[in-house]
Structure 1
């Protein structure tokens, strides 16, 4: 079973940037960045903070999968 198929998992993450709606986070273990809904992150996080990004629901797991697929496709199309 891959990490994307797990019921609940966490990834080490680093907050890169915050906007009004989204956060840009870097996932060192995957060497990848993705946008994440800001309201799903602790409000105390600041740019540069490291934290564990917990993926616990099908909705957030699908968001992570879709973002990673977009990143992979954009890399392949370069």
Structure 2
């Protein structure tokens, strides 16, 4: 079993994001190098939190939406 340390930001908390939601989505994240691809149906707050958790850093930024997949793409900065 893998253990993660992840804290929600004040913005994520204000948007109603929970650690349970992040934990549910994290195994579905596709990490490729310095990019993570996430379900395009996630809210921006949840997607950003999952990206931060996937990389283990707060230094992420939204890159765009996959043209053919509709995935939300974030990169580590």
Q: Report if TM-score (shorter chain) is over 0.5.
A: no
Where is the strand percentage greater, Structure 1 or Structure 2?
1
Structure index of larger Rg? 1
TM-score range, shorter chain: under 0.3
